[in-house]
Amino acid sequence: MKRKIILSLILLLFVSVMNAQEKQNLKVLYVGGNNSDWEESTPEKIQERHNAFVTYLKDYFTEVSYIKANEYKPEISAGYDVTILDGTLPQVQPAIWRKHPSGEEKYFNRRSPLTEDYSYPTILIGESAERNTRAIGCKIDWYCLCLDANAYGMNLEHQIFKGPFKTEITLSSQPVPEGAKQYEALYRTGGLPEMVDMWKVQTKGYMTDKGFKVGLVSRPAGFLDSPETEIISGGVSQKSADAIAIGRHANFFFWGFSASPAYMTDEAKDVFANAVVYTSTLKGERIIARRYYDRAATKKYAHEKMALVSEEGYKAVVEDGKKSFERNAQIKRDALAKKEKGETLNRIEEAYLKMNLPDSYTPPTKAEYIKKQVRMKGMDFGESFKSYHKYMEENYPYFYGAEMFYNLIIDEDVKSLKCANSDKKLLDKAITLLEKGKTAEDVAKAQRILDRYTLCTFEKPEQWRNWYETYKDKLFFTEAGGFVFLVNDKDPEVPGNNYKEKKLYLAFRDMEIGETSHAEPVKVAAKHITIDGGRQYLIVKMKIEEGYHVYATAGNEHPFVPCKVDIELPAGYKIESEMEMPASDFYANDGTTIYKGEAKFVLPIIGDDKEGIKVNVEYQCCDANICMAPVKTVIEVPSVKIK
d(CA 88, CA 370): 43
**384 Cβ contact partners less than 8 Å away, ≥ 6 residues apart:** 370
pLDDT of residue 524: 97
254 has which bridge partners?
124, 247
Radius of gyration of the chain (CA): 30
Helices (H), 236-346: 266-280, 300-308, 311-340
CB 534 within 8 A of CB 605: no
Helix (H, G, I), strand (E, B) or coil at 216: strand
586 has which bridge partners?
593
Q: pLDDT confidence of 106, banded at 50, 70, 90?
A: low
pLDDT (tens digit, 9 = 90+) per residue, 255-308? 999 999 999 999 999 999 999 999 999 999 999 999 998 888 899 989 988 988
Exposed, middle or buried, 329 (CB in 10 Å: 0-12/13-18/19+)? middle
Q: pLDDT confidence of 641, banded at 50, 70, 90?
A: low
* CA-based end-to-end distance of the chain: 84
d(CA 502, CA 293): 16
* Interhelix angle 178-187/300-308, nearest 10 degrees: 80
d(CA 537, CA 521): 26
Q: Quick one: which of 642, 643, 565 has its CA closest to 607? A: 642
618 has which bridge partners?
564, 632
At residue 2, does pLDDT exceed 60?
Answer: no
pLDDT of residue 440: 94
**Amino acid at the residue 595:** Y
Q: pLDDT confidence of 109, banded at 50, 70, 90?
A: confident
**350 Cβ contact partners less than 8 Å away, ≥ 6 residues apart:** 335
**Amino acid at the residue 413:** D
Q: Is the peptide bond before 175 cis (omega within 30 degrees of 0)?
A: no
Exposed, middle or buried, 202 (CB in 10 Å: 0-12/13-18/19+)? buried
pLDDT of residue 572: 84
pLDDT of residue 243: 96
Q: What's the helix, strand, coil split of the chain in %, to 5?
A: 35, 25, 40
Helix (H, G, I), strand (E, B) or coil at 88: coil
CB 497 within 8 A of CB 451: no
Helix (H, G, I), strand (E, B) or coil at 405: strand
Q: List Cα–Cα distances, 450 to 239, 290, 485, 500, in angstroms.
A: 36, 18, 10, 16
Q: Across residues 145-172, what is the average pLDDT?
A: 97
d(CA 531, CA 507): 10
Helix (H) / strand (E) containing 172? strand 171-175
Q: Quick one: which of 225, 245, 232, 246 has its CA closest to 289? A: 225
d(CA 303, CA 641): 36
At residue 638, does pLDDT exceed 90?
Answer: no
CB 151 within 8 A of CB 233: yes
pLDDT of residue 614: 94
pLDDT of residue 583: 94
pLDDT of residue 15: 40
d(CA 129, CA 118): 14
Sheet (strand 573-575) strand order: 522-531, 535-544, 598-607, 573-575
Residues 631/632/638/642 CA torsion (nearest 10 deg): 120
Sign of CA dihedral 285, 529, 292, 306: negative
At residue 428, does pLDDT exceed 90?
Answer: yes
pLDDT of residue 108: 73
Q: pLDDT confidence of 373, banded at 50, 70, 90?
A: confident
DSSP output for 319-353: HHHHHHHHHHHHHHHHHHHHHHTTPPP-HHHHHHH
Q: Quick one: which of 201, 168, 164, 166 has its CA closest to 281? A: 164
Q: HSE of 73 in the Cβ direction (CA atoms, 13 Å)?
A: 2
Quote the mean pLDDT of the chain: 90
Q: Where are the beta strands (DSSP E) in 448-488?
A: 475-478, 484-487
pLDDT of residue 404: 63
Q: List Cα–Cα distances, 567 to 508, 594, 606, in angstroms.
A: 18, 21, 13
**Amino acid at the residue 490:** K
d(CA 125, CA 128): 6
**28 Cβ contact partners less than 8 Å away, ≥ 6 residues apart:** 57, 61, 63, 64, 65, 80, 81, 82, 83, 84, 276
DSSP output for 57-84: HHHHEEEEEEEEGGG--GGGGGG-SEEE
d(CA 193, CA 184): 11
At residue 7, does pLDDT exceed 50?
Answer: no
pLDDT of residue 6: 47
Q: pLDDT confidence of 184, banded at 50, 70, 90?
A: confident
d(CA 130, CA 133): 6
At residue 101, does pLDDT exceed 60?
Answer: no
Q: Across residues 591-607, what is the average pLDDT?
A: 94
pLDDT of residue 103: 57
d(CA 463, CA 149): 53
At residue 438, does pLDDT exceed 70?
Answer: yes
d(CA 229, CA 251): 9
pLDDT (tens digit, 9 = 90+) per residue, 197-238? 999 999 999 999 988 999 999 999 999 999 999 999 999 999
CB 248 within 8 A of CB 229: yes
Q: Across residues 382-401, what is the average pLDDT?
A: 94
pLDDT of residue 642: 46
Q: pLDDT confidence of 568, banded at 50, 70, 90?
A: very high
CB 122 within 8 A of CB 251: yes
| Phi-psi category of residue 284: left, alpha or beta, with phi > 0 → left and psi -120 to 50 → alpha | left
d(CA 310, CA 590): 75
Q: Across residues 565-588, what is the average pLDDT?
A: 93
Q: Across residues 594-609, what is the average pLDDT?
A: 92
CB 321 within 8 A of CB 369: no
